[in-house]
A and B are shown apart, each in its own frame.
Chain A
Amino acid sequence: AQKVTQAQTEISVVEKEDVTLDCVYETRDTTYYLFWYKQPPSGELVFLIRRNSFDEQNEISGRYSWNFQKSTSSFNFTITASQVVDSAVYFCALSEAGDKIIFGKGTRLHILP
């Protein structure tokens, strides 16, 4: 069965600090997909990244980076030099190929000015 755990319910950091959001997943499939979504205070869900199970390369996009490690079943998300606009709820999600997507419970991130 699929499962996604985001152990950090809420995190607060001061602006310009780096912050890492943890995501641990469980799956029996060898083919699966991992996602991160952002939900700003306005409420919409914004797609950030998709990673498939065959691609363990880390990815960087501006101040955002993702560390995918199959050995520890983790797909962590780091924001470098955080900004107030990064304040949001962040969801990690898992999909086995051709199947439903399961979301973690989310991490609420507060960036303090």
Chain B
Amino acid sequence: EAQVTQNPRYLITVTGKKLTVTCSQNMNHEYMSWYRQDPGLGLRQIYYSMNVEVTDKGDVPEGYKVSRKEKRNFPLILESPSPNQTSLYFCASRILGQLNTGELFFGEGSRLTVL
């Protein structure tokens, strides 16, 4: 089954304690991305990657890091989480092509609370 898998789905942590949210896709998609969703602000892109070892900042990258060492994985790292990073996070992937850019496939979301 084609899917994007995120872990953990729910996490409560404290300010400053490093955490990683993993994301893996089994569709061989070139493009992967992280979004955060906050009330009234919709989905905002944090980082995206167009292929292995290629990552770019989205609209709200501050406080986050990513890496793309393998095509299927795109972890999101919060080195020193703060309460303003409390949010619902989505990982997504898609086929990337000049003429066949596809829709995003989303993971189920990871709800993060930073105390």
Contacts and interface: CB of A to CB of B under 8 A. Distances in A.
Contacts, number: 54
A95 B101 contact: yes
Interface string B51-62: 000001010000
A113 interface: no
A102 interface: yes
A100 B33 contact: yes
A104 B41 CA distance: 8
A35 to B, nearest CB: 6
A45 B106 contact: yes
A50 B102 contact: yes
Nearest to A95: B101
Interface string B35-60: 10000111111001010000010100
Interface in B47-82: 48, 50, 56, 58
A3 B8 CA distance: 31
B101 A97 contact: yes
Interface in B86-115: 88, 90, 92, 94, 96-99, 101-106, 108-109
A45 B50 CA distance: 21
B: interface residue count bin: 20 to 34
Contacts of B41: 105
Contacts of A97: 98-99, 101
Nearest to A43: B109
Contact of A101 (B88, B98, B104, B108): B104
Interface of B: 33, 35, 40-45, 48, 50, 56, 58, 88, 90, 92, 94, 96-99, 101-106, 108-109
30 contacts: A9-B40, A31-B98, A35-B104, A43-B88, A43-B108, A43-B109, A44-B108, A45-B106, A47-B103, A50-B103, A91-B43, A97-B98, A97-B101, A98-B97, A98-B98, A98-B101, A100-B45, A100-B48, A100-B56, A101-B94, A101-B104, A102-B45, A103-B35, A103-B42, A103-B44, A104-B42, A105-B40, A105-B42, A106-B42, A106-B43
